[in-house]
Amino acid sequence: MKTLNICLGAVLLAAGVANLGCGTGDDTASVTLTFNVPANANQIQNLRQDLPQFEKRTGVKIKLYPFTGQEKLYAMMAAGQAPDIFYTNTVVRDRLAAEKRLLDLRTVSKGDPFVQRIRPEFIDRGTSIDGGWYQFCDWTFTYAFYYNRDLFRRAGLAFPDISWTWNDMLRSAQALTIDSDGDGKPEQYGLFIAKHFVDAFEQMNGARFERNALFYSLSAESRDALAAYLDLMNRYRVMPDVSLMQAQGMQMTQLLNSGRAAMAVEALPNPDVFSGLEIDWDVAPLPRMGDHPPAYFRSASGGLSISAGCRDPQAAWEFLKWLITESRYNTPNPILSDVDFVGDWQESYPVLQNTQFARVWRLSEEYDGGDPRDFVRYSSWSSSAILEILAPRMDLLFAGKIDLDQLAAAETEINRNVERELDKLLKSNLDSLFLRHVETQIAAHRAEGKTGR
Amino acid sequence: MPHQQNKLFKDWQGYLYIMPWFIGFICFALGPIVVSFFMSFTRWSMLSSPQWIGLENYSEILLRDPLVGKSLWNTAYYVLFSVPLGIALSLGLALLLNQKLRGIGLFRTLFFLPSVTNLVAVSILWMWIFNPEFGLLNRALEWTGIEGPLWLQSETWSKPALILMSLWGIGGGMIIMLAALQGIPPELYEAADLDGAKRWRKFWHITAPMISPALFFNLIMNMIGSFQVFTQAFVMTASAGQGSEGAPNNSTLFFVLYLYKKAFQQFKMGYASALAWILFIIILLFTLLQFNLSRRWVYYEAGGRS
C-alpha cells in the first residue's frame, strides 16, 4: 500500500512538472497574435469565419479573446500577458501611453499609403499629448432623432428636416404630447432624450471641450443647454422623467414602438434599432440651438491599440488594416475617406433608403463636433477625479433636487479633488513628457486664480 | 532527536496530502493578504512598480476623502437594518417550518432555494421587481392605493430596496435556526408544560437560550456579509453605464463598491488595499464587540453561558 502511494505521488509530481513546462506550445509555428476584441457575439462569429482569409494570406494566426472590461485588460497587462491588440478608450489611452504600454502606430505605418485613406480627424483623436498615435479608431457614429412618422401625420405636423431648431423641436413635441385624461401623466410624450445624450446638446449649443483639459468648468453654453433640457421635463412636460425612464429600463425602441414617445435620440447607424423598430420611422439630425453653428456629435472615444510588447507589430498593423477594410468587422468603415459608407449601409439595410439617413450622416461629417460624452470629455489624468464628484451632482440635478447654480458651485470642490489627484500624479514615475503637460496646465490653472485651495 | 526525525519521515505522506490545500492557502489567501498589507503603504497602478508612500493612503482615507464617510454611512445603514431584519425573519420562518406537517420538507426546500441562487441573477430579477411602473412591488402597492417610489432610482429608497432584497437570502440562516430548533430536547418543553408555561414563556426561557449559539453564529456571519455588501449594488446600479455604480447620488455606494471602483476603475491598488484593511479592522472590532456581548446572552449547553 505504502509503495503504491509513493508511486502515485511520484506520478502526480511528474505530471505537474511536465505541465509547468508546457508553456504556450507551438513556439516554433508561425506568429500568433492575440486580439482582445470589443464586439458582440455576432460580430465575433463573423470575424472567426473571415479570419482564415487573413491567416492564409499573411501566415499570421489570430487568436480572439472577447473584451470583457478595462479592469481585466489591466490585470492581463500586470501579469505580463497583454494581448497584442486590444481596445482602449481615451480615458486609459494616455495613461497607458505614459506607462509605455502602447505602441506608437507611427512606427509601423510610416510610409504606408493606407494612412492617407484614414480621415485625419480620426488619427488626430487617437493621438496623445506627446504626439504619439496610440489608438486606431475603428468606428464612429453620430446621434439622431428617430421619430414616428404616423404620429407626426396624425398631429398634422411637418416632418423634421435638417434645418430644424430647438424651438421647432419643442413645438412639435408639445403638439405630440397627449394627456387625454388630464392627470398630468401623458399617455404619449412628444420626445425622449436620455440623460447621457445631453452632452451632445451642450455641444450643439456652442460649448467647446478641450480634449486634454484637466479641470472642470461649467460653461454658459453648457448651462443653457442643461436648462433647456430640464425644461422639457419640468416646465413643458413634453418628456417623461428621466429617472423614471431609467428605473424602468425602457429601451428607446420600446418607447417608440409602444407609442409612449413620438421621437427619441439614439446612435446612428444602429442595426439593433433598425431591426427593433416596428413603426414607420425616419431620422432627423439633432436640432440647431440658438445662433450657434452646428457641431454634430461624432464618436471617437475608443479604438484599437497595439501593445508595446507585441510580438510582431508590423503584422498587427496589417491586421488592423484588414479588419476595417476586408473583414465583416465594422465594414464599410466611415473612418476611411474613400468608401461609400452611406451607399453600402443603405444597401445592407434597405429601410434606410426611405429615410434621411444620408443627409443626417453627411451633416455629421461636414460639421463634426467631436465626442463630448462625459466619460471621455475630460483628460485621462483627471477624468475619474471629476466624475466621482460631478456624477452624483448630475443625479441630483436630473432628479430636481439641486439647480444649475448649485451644480456650478460644485466647480471648486471638483477642481480641488482634481488638484489632489494631480499632485499625486506628479510624484509618480510616469513618462516626463506627460508629466510636464500636467504641470503646465496646473500652473496655468493656478495662475488664473481658480485653485480650489 | 532521531525519534523526531523518524516521526517526521513517517508523517510525510500526511504532509503530502495536505499540501494542495496548503499551497492554495498560501497562494490565494495568505499571500494576497500579506501583499495587500504591503501595498496599502504604496501608490500602485498595477502597471508600474509600487511607490512607497508610508501612511499617505491611510491619512487620505481618514482625513480627506469625502466618499469614504459616505460609503461608510451607507454600509452602516445597510448593516443596521438588514442584519436584524434578516435574523428576525429567518428565525420566524424556522419556527414556522419546525412543524410536523405533511409536505413540510417541500416548504423547507422552497424557502431555502432562493439562498442558493446566483446573486447576479437574483439582482436582475429584483431589478424587475423594483421597476416603478411594471414591477411586482409597485403593482402590489398600487392595489392597496399606495403610489410606489422609484426604488433604485430614488436616493431615499435605493438603500431600503437593497435591504428588502437581502431578505431573499434568509434561507441559509433559516436552515441553521431550524437545525438548532430541532436539537432542543423535547423533555424541556414537556417539563415546561407540566409547570403550566405558556407559549411565549417557553419560547423566551427554553427556545431562545437553546438556539442562542445559532443566533449568535447567524449574527456574526450576517454582519460580516453585510459589511461586505457589493454584488447587488454593483449589478443593480450599473445599468446607466460604467462609473454609475453607487447611483443615485452615491446613495448605494457601499464601502466594498467604493473599494472596487478605486481598484478596478481607477486602478489605485494601494489606496484600495488601505480601504480593505480599514474595512477589516472595522469588521474585526464589531466582531470582537459581539463576542464580548455574547457572554451576556449566548448559552452553551455544555458549559453554561459563553
Under DSSP, the state recorded for A189 is: B
B151 vs chain A: nearest CA distance in angstroms?
8
**Residue B35, in any domain of the structure:** no
Using CA atoms, how far residue A90 sits from A128, B30, B274, in Å, is: 9, 37, 28
- Is B244 within 8 Å of chain A by CB? yes
Residue B130 CA to residue A246 CA, distance in Å, equals 12
Across residues A90-96, what is the average pLDDT?
86
Closest chain B residue to A398, measured at CA: B248
A78 closest CB neighbour out of B46, B64, B266? B46
Mean pLDDT rounded to a whole number for chain A: 88
Q: Measuring CA to CA, which residue among B233, B227, B219, B234 is closest to residue B86?
A: B219
Render B156-196 in DSSP notation, one character per residue. TTHHHHHHHHHGGGTHHHHHHHHHHHHTS-HHHHHHHHHTT
Strand partners, B299: B305
The pLDDT value given to residue B304: 52
Residue B228 sits at the chain A interface (C-beta within 8 Å): no
Burial A57-77 (b: 16+ CB within 10 A, else e): ebebbbeeeebeebeebbebb
Instruction: Quickly state the pLDDT bin for A79 (edges 50, 70, 90).
Output: confident
B151 touches chain A (CB under 8 A): yes
The answer as to whether B236 is a domain residue is: yes
Calculate the dihedral angle through the C-alpha atoms of B240, B242, B247, B253, rounding to the nearest 10 degrees: 150
Among A243, A305, A383, A402, most B C-beta atoms within 10 A, so best to mutate, is A243
Residue whose C-alpha cell reads 500577458 in the numeric block: A81
CA distance B141 to A384: 39
Mean pLDDT score, B250-279: 94
pLDDT of residue A249: 75
Q: Is A159 a residue whose pLDDT tops 50?
A: yes
Least confident of A7-16, A31-40, A243-252, A372-381: A7-16
Class of domain A8-140+301-339: alpha beta
Residues on chain A touching B64 (C-beta within 8 angstroms): 420
The rounded percent of chain B whose pLDDT value lies above 70 is 95
SS3 state at A303: strand
A82-104: average pLDDT: 91
Q: How confident is the model at residue B240 (pLDDT cuts 50, 70, 90)?
A: low
A394 to chain B, any CB pair closer than 8 A? The answer is no
- CATH code, domain with B281: 1.10.3720.10
- CA A211 to chain centroid, in Å, comes to 14
Residue B26 lies in a domain: no
Count of structural domains, chain B: 1
Q: Using the beta-carbon criterion (under 8 Å), do B131 and A247 form an inter-chain contact?
A: yes
Q: Kindly report, residue by residue over B40-56, the tens digit of the pLDDT.
A: 999 998 888 899 999 99
Give the H or E element holding residue B110: helix B104-112
Partner B contacted by A168 (CB < 8 A): no
Grid cell 411586482 in the structure block, residue: B136
A247 to chain B: which residues are within 8 Å by CB?
130-132, 150-153
- Domain limits at B232? 60-305
Is A412 in CB contact (< 8 Å) with chain B? no
User: Cα dist. A70→A86, A273, B43 in Å?
Assistant: 10, 26, 20
| Closest CB from A249, A396, A427 relative to B127 | A249
Task: For residue B13, give Cα distances in angstroms to A3, A17, A18, B18, B97.
Answer: 11, 19, 22, 9, 46
What is the CATH number assigned to the segment(s) A142-284? 3.40.190.10
Domain ranges of chain A: 8-140+301-339, 142-284, 379-447
Q: Is residue B132 part of a domain?
A: yes
> What b/e string do you get for A244-257 counting C-beta neighbours within 10 Å, with b at 16 or more?
ebbbbebebbebbb
Write out pLDDT tens, residues A299-342.
987 899 999 999 899 999 999 999 999 998 888 899 999 999 99
Mean pLDDT of the region B10-24: 88
Is B263 within a domain?
yes
Q: Which residues of A touch B250 (CB under 8 A)?
A: 392
Chain B residue nearest residue A248, CA to CA = B131
Contact predicate B57/B270, CB 8 Å: yes
> Which A residues 357-376 touch B at CB under 8 Å?
375
Burial class (CB in 10 A: 0-12, 13-18, 19+), B242: middle
Query: Count H helices, E strands: chain B?
Result: 16, 4
Does residue B248 belong to the interface with chain A, where contact is any CB pair within 8 Å? Answer: yes
**Nearest-neighbour CA in chain A from B206: distance (Å):** 47
Q: Do B134 and A248 touch (CB under 8 A)?
A: yes
DSSP string, A91-132: HHHHHHHHTT-B--THHHHTT-THHHHB-HHHHHHTB-TTS-
Residue B47 belongs to a domain: no
Domain for residue B50, yes or no?
no
Q: Hey, is the C-beta of B46 within 8 angstroms of any chain A C-beta?
A: yes
Cα A308 → chain centroid: 23
Average pLDDT of the segment spanning B183-203? 93
Per-residue pLDDT, B35: 95
